[in-house]
Chains A and B, each alone.
Chain A
Amino acid sequence: MRRTLPVAITISTALFVLAALFLQGQVGSYLPYVLDLAILLMAVSALVALAYLVTRQVNKIRQNPAESTPNMVLVLAFSITLVAGLVFGVQNPAYNRWVAAIQRPLQSSLLGLSALVMASAALKLFQRKGIDAFTVSFGLSAVFFLLLGMNTSRLVINPQLDAALLTLSQLPLVGARGLLIGISLGALMVALRIVFGVERPFDER
């Protein structure tokens, strides 16, 4: 019973949603309720996860207060942001500015930092991965599209050259399409296995 009931719930929910989406009709009118139930459940789960995160940080501070300065900063920032949001409202302009003043510089800087890291990694690409069909095609394609992104590379305007460049720029479409189909097929298999009860991600074992 312990193991069959969750499987039964999974299968019945999946069949109901598929019937509502494909057939619609009377069944489809109950789909919004099911979706709302799922969304609210996910929101509650997200809150529980955030509470768990903060609890773990507090435990770390209790265990080792001397080396927990970053953890204290996290807990403090979380508390202040949460309380201010509940008091002033999350759509308050001053509150939004406070959040933006912290989030935007940090996230943009992180992404900018990754550009420098990618540049240094590019220097060692072939040293680490060697020279084979994959790495050569990767390198050639990357160089081509990097130069194409530089408008300086188009100092010579020639229709035939443009046509050739356009054709070459369509080459990644082949791989992208293959990747999309391949990944979708794999994901579809996993989803079907879940619907048929073969795969049980929620099981303990």
Chain B
Amino acid sequence: MSAEDYIICPHCGKENLIQATRCIYCKESLDLIPKAADLAASDEDLSEMLSAMAEEDGDVEMAAPAEDAGSLMPGASNPQPAPIDEVGGSNEIPSWLAHVRQRAQTEGDAQGLYNRESEPNSAQKLPGRESLDQPFNSWVGRIHDSLTTSDSSEVDMPVEKADEMPVWLKRVRDLQLQPDENTVQKPTGVEAWKQEWSEEDLERLKNGEFDEKTILQPNLLAQASAAETETAAEDVQNAAEKAGQKLAGAGSVEDFAEANVGASENLAVAVGEPTDASDAVAEQQGVGQHEAQAEILKEIVTTESLPRYKRTEEKPRKTDIWRWIGILFLLAMLVAFYLLFLKRPAPAPLANTAGTAFWNRLDSVQTSAKVLMVLDYQPATADEVHGNLQPVLARLKTQNVQLSLVALWPDGLWLGRELLEATALPLTTELNFLPGGSLAALASAAGLRPAGSTPENQTSLISNSVALTENDLIVYVTDNPESAKTWLEQVGSFLQPEQSLVVSTQASQVMLQPYYESSQIAGLSTSPYRADGVLLANNPTAAATPAFEAGMGVMAGFLVLSFFGRLLNTYKKKPGEDGKI
């Protein structure tokens, strides 16, 4: 490497690559301008250099070195007039500068700072500064050089060849691997063999009479590694003791991890790297010992690092006794009320405008009118729906209407048949299945006839299998408010309000009431009662039975109990199942 390929650290004076921004030795910033503290120690050189610079270039006016060793930059913009040097007179070059120049001329510009061109910096480039940069850099370089050469024990910089290690790297390794002055340098390689082997042994080896591994190795291992293993063992022991103390003292997982890492680091340092002094066999023995030590450490770490689970005893699951009490109480109430109050007459229910309107519309149906009943409910609610439908069918039967039934669900076919049997209507009553639900009735409700179809020759489509608009009254029977909503939106919007009646369950009462209030349907029936309180269906499942009343009362009681139970918990400041007080 030439002098231009590396720079001198201003702090420690060591050489660094030119691309480096921090010194690899002292980690300081590689600033070409040395710190003032460093220069304060070399006032003499500084003053000499300054005077030498002034002598070299009489036009250059440099600031006198401050006593507090401030920045060497002679002012960013305005070079101060140089004070008259007391030594060299007003116009003479200071002696230190002369000294610098002399040295530069004799020793050459090793760092290239003297002849080095200043870095072009347009921001700081000022007219007249070019003439200052070069000599300034050169005497700074001289200062570094002087500091470097005084500390270094090596006089000459070794000349590097292309295939050799760089000088700076050599220095790094030397710093790290400085052999102890007191250690005895063991012979290596052939020399070691020559010292350990006698002529007789060599002959035997030549004849193949030796097993090196079993005979020679222990001796060599013992001798070659004696010095090193002693020290290594001591280090390992110390590190293990420290690790043990740390492990014992670790109170938490984090402490343990930290201690573990620290312990392993100590051991790694103690184990160290095989030095150049130990031979291959000793190294192998050392590695084997280190491996054994590592195994021990690994075992310690493994056993200690197992998570310490506290064995939690499984708490016996609390049986939900209140649930069982509630269920049994409800069943008992049902049975008791049913048996005790079976024949008690029920009072009239609260007047329901939708129900009243339903029955008024039903009463107004003309004799022989065409009535279509659309069945859209499930077998689960058949008991309630049939209880609500039976009085309707009985009324229609007395009016001698032309009744036809259409099922929108597959189960509607046999449910419709049951309904006809229960109301003693003729089983020849038309009962069909309409696939597609509201979609199938949409075109018919809109009065759309299929293209190419005439009244005489109708195209057989699902969409025109039911003539909705030809019916005077359409009774839609459902147990699901969503189905009713879909029907009323898609089909009901094409029908007149007086054409539509809805029979449903009590579950759908709330969500279907708005449709009655907005006059989209003529009436809504969700109970077997008329408005005047007459029970229209003699049905054990009718809402008048005591069992039904008992069940409703028990549920209301449960809600009240739950409310006061929570209030009590709040008073006792006991959190509920949601975690809040």
Residues of A within 8 A of B (CB): 20-21, 24, 28-33, 35-36, 38-40, 42-43, 90-91, 93, 96-97, 99-100, 103-104, 107-108, 110-111, 115-116, 118-120, 122-131, 136, 139, 142-143, 146-152, 154-155, 157, 162, 165-166, 169, 172-173, 176-177, 179-180
Chain A: CB-nearest residue to B533: A151
B130 surroundings in chain A (CB, below 8 A) = none
Asked whether A166 lies within 8 Å of B383 as measured between CB atoms, the reply is no
Is the beta-carbon distance between A119 and B326 smaller than 8 angstroms? yes
A115/B551 contact (C-beta < 8 A), A124-B562, A126-B565, A169-B350 known: yes
B439 within 8 A of A: yes
Residues of A within 8 A of B348 (CB): 151, 154, 157
Measured CB to CB, the nearest residue on chain B to A107 is B380
When A24-B448, A128-B578 are in contact, do A91 and B413 touch as well, CB less than 8 Å?
A: yes
Q: Given A20-B448, A32-B463, A162-B350, verify A126-B563 contact (CB < 8 Å).
A: yes
Q: Which residues of B contact A30 (CB under 8 A)?
A: 450-451
Expressed in whole angstroms, the Cα–Cα distance for A49 and B382 within the complex equals: 27
Q: Is B442 within 8 A of A126, CB to CB?
A: no
Is there contact, CB below 8 Å, between B382 and A108? Answer: yes
Closest-CB distance, B579 to chain A (whole angstroms): 9
The CB with the most chain A CB atoms within 10 A, among B485, B513, B543, B548, is that of B513
Q: By the criterion CB–CB under 8 Å, are B411 and A103 in contact?
A: yes
B57 in the interface (beta carbon within 8 A): no
The answer on a CB contact under 8 Å between B382 and A119 is: no
User: B552, A146: Cβ atoms under 8 Å?
Assistant: yes
Q: Which residue from chain A places its CB closest to the CB of B344 in the assembled complex? A: A152
Asked if B446 and A21 sit within 8 Å, CB to CB, the answer is yes
Main SS class of interface, B: helix
Judge if B269 is at the interface, Cβ distance under 8 Å: no
Closest Cβ neighbor of B320 among chain A residues:
A120
Are A122 and B562 in contact (CB-based, < 8 A)?
yes
Cα distance A58–B544 when bound, in Å? 48
The SS class assigned to the A binding surface is: helix
Q: Are the CB atoms of B576 and A90 closer together than 8 Å?
A: no
Measured between beta carbons, the chain A residues less than 8 angstroms from B378 are 107
CB distance from A168 to the nearest CB of B (A): 10
Q: Known A-B contacts: A91-B413, A127-B578. Give 4 more (CB < 8 A).
A: A36-B463, A119-B555, A120-B320, A130-B580
| Cβ contact within 8 Å between B327 and A120 | yes
Enumerate B542-568 residues with CB–CB distance to A below 8 Å.
Answer: 543-544, 548-549, 551-556, 558-563, 565-567
B380 touches A110 (CB 8 A): yes
A-B contact pairs, 6 of them (CB 8 A): A108-B383, A119-B326, A123-B558, A131-B570, A142-B555, A150-B553
Q: CB-CB contacts of B424-441 with A at 8 A, as 1s and 0s?
A: 000000000001100110
Interface size class of B (residues with CB under 8 A): 35 or more
The docked-state distance in angstroms from the alpha carbon of A177 to that of B518 is 10
Say yes or no: is B351 at the interface (Cβ < 8 Å to chain A).
Answer: yes
B461 interface residue per 8 A CB criterion = yes
Q: Is the CB of B561 within 8 A of A123?
A: yes
Q: Is the CB–CB distance between B576 and A127 below 8 Å?
A: yes
- Assembled-state Cα–Cα distance A99/B417 (Å): 13
Q: A155–B347 contact, CB under 8 A?
A: yes
Kindly identify which residue among B382, B417, B450, B566 contacts A29, using a CB–CB cutoff of 8 Å. Answer: B450
Cα–Cα distance between A111 and B385 once the two chains are bound (Å):
14
Question: Does chain A have a CB within 8 A of B349?
Answer: yes
Contact assessment for A36 and B576 in the assembled complex, using a CB-CB cutoff below 8 Å: no
Give the docked Cα–Cα distance between A147 and B446 (Å).
Answer: 43
The winner among A93, A104, A151, A154 for most chain B CB atoms within 10 A is A151
Q: Does B335 contact A (CB under 8 A)?
A: no
Residues of A close to B525: CB separation below 8 A? none
Partner of B442, one of A33, A35, A136, A149: A35
Q: Let me know if A129 and B578 touch, CB within 8 A.
A: yes
**A139 engages B559 (CB within 8 Å):** yes
Q: Name A104's closest neighbour in chain B (CB-CB).
A: B379
| CB <8 Å contact, A122 and B567 | no
Evaluate contact between B555 and A35: CB separation under 8 angstroms. Answer: no
Assembly CA distance A107 to B379 (angstroms): 6
A30 to B560 alpha-carbon distance, docked (Å):
59
The answer to whether A149 and B559 touch (CB under 8 A), given A32-B450, A130-B580, is: no
In the complex, what distance in Å separates the CA atom of A99 from the CA atom of B411?
9
In the complex the two chains form, is A176's CB within 8 Å of B514's CB?
A: yes
Task: Give the distance in Å from the alpha carbon of A151 to the alpha carbon of B543 in the complex.
Answer: 9
What residues of A have a CB within 8 angstroms of the CB of B463 in the complex? 31-33, 35-36, 39
B23 at the A interface (CB under 8 A): no
Give the residues in chain B near A43, CB-CB below 8 Å.
Answer: 435
Q: Which of B365-415 contact A (CB under 8 A)?
A: 378-383, 410-411, 413-415
Neighbouring B residues of A122 by C-beta, 8 Å = 555, 558-559, 562
Query: Is B194 part of the binding interface, using a Cβ–Cβ cutoff of 8 Å?
Result: no
Beta-carbon contact of A173 and B513 below 8 Å = yes
What is the bound-complex CA distance between A130 and B551, given in angstroms?
A: 25
Task: Let me know if A146 and B451 touch, CB within 8 A.
Answer: no
Q: Which residue from chain B places its CB closest to the CB of A161 in the assembled complex?
A: B350
Known: A91-B413, A143-B559. A29 touches B449 (CB 8 A): yes
Contact B439 A38, beta carbon cutoff 8 Å:
yes
Q: Is the CB of B323 closer than 8 A to any CB of chain A?
A: yes
CA distance A35 to B446 in the complex (A): 13
Partner pick for A150 among B413, B414, B552, CB 8 A cutoff: B552
User: Do B440 and A35 touch (CB < 8 A)?
Assistant: yes
Q: Which of B70-128 contact A (CB under 8 A)?
A: none
Q: How far is the CB of A143 from chain B (nearest CB, A)?
A: 5
Q: Is B446 a contact partner of A24 (Cβ separation < 8 A)? A: yes
Within the assembled complex, what's the spacing in Å between the Cα atoms of A180 and B482?
A: 10
Q: Are A28 and B562 neighbours in the complex by a CB distance under 8 Å?
A: no
| Bound form: Cα–Cα A176–B507 in Å | 13
Q: With contacts A30-B451, A33-B451, A165-B350 known, is A143 near B413, CB below 8 A? A: no
